[in-house]
Amino acid sequence: MVGWLAARSRAWAFASNDGARLHSLPNYHGWYVAMWAFVPAVIFALIWNAVSPNLVMQAVLSDPAAAKLPAFGIGRDSALAEAMAVASGHAQGVFNPLARELVEPARNAMQFYSIIGLVVTVIIGFAAGVFAFTRLRPDFTARTRVERGVMLGLLVASLVAILTTFGIVASLLFETIRFFGMVNPIDFLFGTQWSPNPMGDPAFTNSEDYGALPLFWGTIYIGAIIAMIVAIPLGLMSAVYLTQYANPTFRKWMKPILEILAGVPTVVYGYFAALTVAPFIRDVARSVGIASASSESAIAAGLVMGVMIIPFVSSMADDSIAAVPSAMRDGSLAMGATKSETIRKVLIPAALPGIVAGVMLAISRAIGETMIVVMAAGAAANLTGNPFESMTTVTYQIVAMLTGEGSFDHPATLSAFALGMVLFVVTLALNFVALRVVKRYREAYE
Amino acid sequence: MNNPELEGQVAGFSDAGPAKISANKVSVFYGEKKAIDEVSIDIHTKYVTAFIGPSGCGKSTFLRTLNRMNDTIPSARVDGEILLDGEDIYRSRMDVVQLRARVGMVFQKPNPFPKSIYDNIAYGPKIHGLAESKSELDGIVEQSLQRAGLWEEVKDRLSDSGTALSGGQQQRLCIARAIAVDPEVILMDEPCSALDPIATARIEELIDELRGRYAIVIVTHSMQQAARVSQRTAFFHLGNLVEYGRTSDIFTNPREERTKDYITGRYG
């Protein structure tokens, strides 16, 4: 603020005293100095916030009272954490006597380092501002520099999402490698027996208990087979109706409504699947003599997931059918083809690449879906083709393993990362191929 | 006006025989706007009839009423009667599928389906059930491509995509597709406007070869093209049929002042 005002008035002074032509408007000089005063200081403050807890921790550990702590293990960690929490004011009472003695040094260290941080931040901000201020000249290209600064800011913003993705992949990869250090990848990918025991001793991990094939099968059966049997025909038909038959007013209302379906939280679909569809299917199946029908069935989860996916398929199919040049349709109609012949034999074949891409995106969405299968599909890892049996999916097991009782470095917990990695790779591949197809298809008609 | 022979004599075509298509006081509306105003015209088999006129004069609109392609535009409405062999195409029991099998159409921009060359031609015969067997269908495809003068160029690659052909070849493919269902009338809506001069010349030759078998109606912006390919010319202006007669008469000795102005390039 101060820098901005000072610099702007100085720029005004240049303009009035020397009568020189300023390269940039005074405002830009102001922004330039403000940027210098603000950005480096903020960057330092962020780095300091990340570093200072470690410094505090070191200070606490060097305190004589810390020598009484157990050498390692859960007791030491909890005592330290408790001391820190009390020192920073997040917690009040101290239960652990070891922690009590550490509160005072921790509080002192925290104060010390936060004052240092504040002082250094102010100094950096001031110094950088002064540095920028001294550079101001009438012919100084402040405008170009401010624009460049704005561009850099936007670049950083756009990199956040990408860098986060890389971070996710890296952490997945790291834990996956740890998991494969304990479990043979071949057993994991092709084994048919899934019965990890989170309470078992990690030293006696049996690779054969980590056969994820039933999970992959359950995922594909529910997400890519049952759900798609529902979603592809219904989505396609609704797209055809909306683009070819519906009158414009109806289409104007119907399309957004269909797209709202895609925004319904999946938990809600999960309720519906678990409380309404699954019991209904079980009763129907029993009444026609399928005794094995369970109340948590693959078909219930798949059907509801299919309904959830309909808007994806229909909106992609809608777009690609609408993108077929109307000359195609006219050409077919002029041959004496009926409307439905035209749709079946010309429009859908011409729109097929876009439709296929939409289906692939829908599949990748369906196999990553968690809530519906958690609520409706069950936990039993069955390798079966019977849709009335309980089945489990990759996503379900990720949730189960990560929220289970196993400690963090137990192979059962780590298996969640390996499963996540497989899921990530598969959906990434599906999305990649689908987007390529869509792109090629767009080029074909432009 | 209901007597086709009398109408023929009025226009001076006593040699032409009964009209294939006879339009009687046809008006076309787009919503409130009148695009065609009471046009009456007879079109004969074995002649090429050209519709000329400045842009927006309604010639394409009128052409599209002849096979009811205006039906695809919701706001369009047609008054008057259009007789195909004496049968009213808008009010008789003939439905639009049968009509379009008898009155084929070729569009301004070549619009082959994104299918193989073979399937492009076989499309019409299949939907109208014209072929009983595969060999019969093969015969129709070959004959249509031969009539459209495309057979020699594509006979070795019938399974290639129709969209991979050059513009002129695509347009001949569309003509072949139209004649594959053995229509009686072929409507062409500026069939050469998207083509280069060589491809245009090839299409014009083809139109001349085809006229012995069909009634051909062609909308064109090019007066030279109308003069080269047609025997009958109709001049449209502002939704009215201004003059209709032998092409040679229209171009050398027009009766109407407006026709003369247009032909000599005074406007348009």
The ipTM assigned to this model is: 0.85
B window 37-96, beta carbon within 8 A of A: 67, 69, 72, 96
Best of A243, A250, A320, A335 to substitute, by most chain B Cβ atoms within 10 angstroms, is A335
The minimum CA-CA distance between B114 and chain A, rounded to whole Å, is 6
Rounded to whole angstroms, the Cα distance separating B245 from A403 reads 88
Q: pTM for the full model? A: 0.71
Q: Is A327 close to B111, i.e. CB distance below 8 A? A: yes
Phi (first) and psi of residue B76, to 5 degrees: -80, 140
Question: Residue A129 pLDDT more than 70?
Answer: yes
Question: Residue A97 pLDDT more than 80?
Answer: no
Place of tokens 């101001």: A136
- C-alpha angle A340-B125-B155 in degrees, rounded to nearest 5: 120
Rounded to whole angstroms, the Cα distance separating B43 from B241 reads 14
Q: Helices (H), strands (E): how many in chain A?
A: 18, 0
Q: Is B115 close to A349, i.e. CB distance below 8 A? A: yes
Q: What residues contact A351, with CB distance under 8 A and at least 6 apart?
A: A317, A320, A321, A323, A324
Rounded to whole angstroms, the Cα distance separating A303 from A225 reads 10
The minimum CA-CA distance between A325 and chain B, rounded to whole Å, is 9
Question: pLDDT category, A7, cuts 50, 70, 90?
Answer: low
**Structural domain spans, chain B:** 4-263
B174 touches chain A (CB under 8 A): yes
Q: Going from the N-terminus, what domains does chain A have, and what CATH number goes with each?
A: 2-140 (no CATH), 203-445 (1.10.3720.10)
The H or E element spanning position A335 is: none
CB pairs under 8 A between A and B: 64
Question: Residues of B with CB below 8 A from A333's CB?
Answer: 69, 72, 100
Comparing C-alpha atoms, which of B54, B56, B115 is closest to residue B261?
B54
B115 touches chain A (CB under 8 A): yes
Question: Residues of A with CB below 8 A from B123's CB?
Answer: 332, 335, 337, 345
B181 touches chain A (CB under 8 A): yes
Q: Is B123 close to A335, i.e. CB distance below 8 A? A: yes
Question: What pLDDT shows up at residue B196?
Answer: 87
Question: What pLDDT shows up at residue A22?
Answer: 61
Rounded to whole angstroms, the Cα distance separating A375 from A178 reads 30
Question: Residue B2 pLDDT more than 80?
Answer: no
Nearest to A335 among B72, B98, B100 (CB): B100
Q: Provide mean pLDDT across the span A137-161.
A: 83
Question: Residue A36 pLDDT more than 90?
Answer: no
Rounded to whole angstroms, the Cα distance separating B49 from A198 reads 86
Q: Tell how strand B21-30 and strand B76-84 pair up.
A: antiparallel
Rounded to whole angstroms, the Cα distance separating B184 from B210 reads 11
Best of B89, B127, B161, B217 to substitute, by most chain A Cβ atoms within 10 angstroms, is B127
Q: Is A337 close to B97, i.e. CB distance below 8 A? A: yes
Nearest to A327 among B99, B109, B123 (CB): B109
Question: Residue A92 pLDDT more than 70?
Answer: no
Listed as own residue / partner, the contacts of A184-187 with beta carbons closer than 8 Å and 24 or more positions apart are A187/A211
Cα A253 to chain center, whole Å? 31
One of 3.20.20.370, 3.40.50.300, 3.30.2350.10, 3.30.70.1060 is the CATH number of B4-263, namely: 3.40.50.300
Q: Provide mean pLDDT across the span B104-116.
A: 90
Question: Residue B75 pLDDT more than 50?
Answer: yes
B98 touches chain A (CB under 8 A): yes
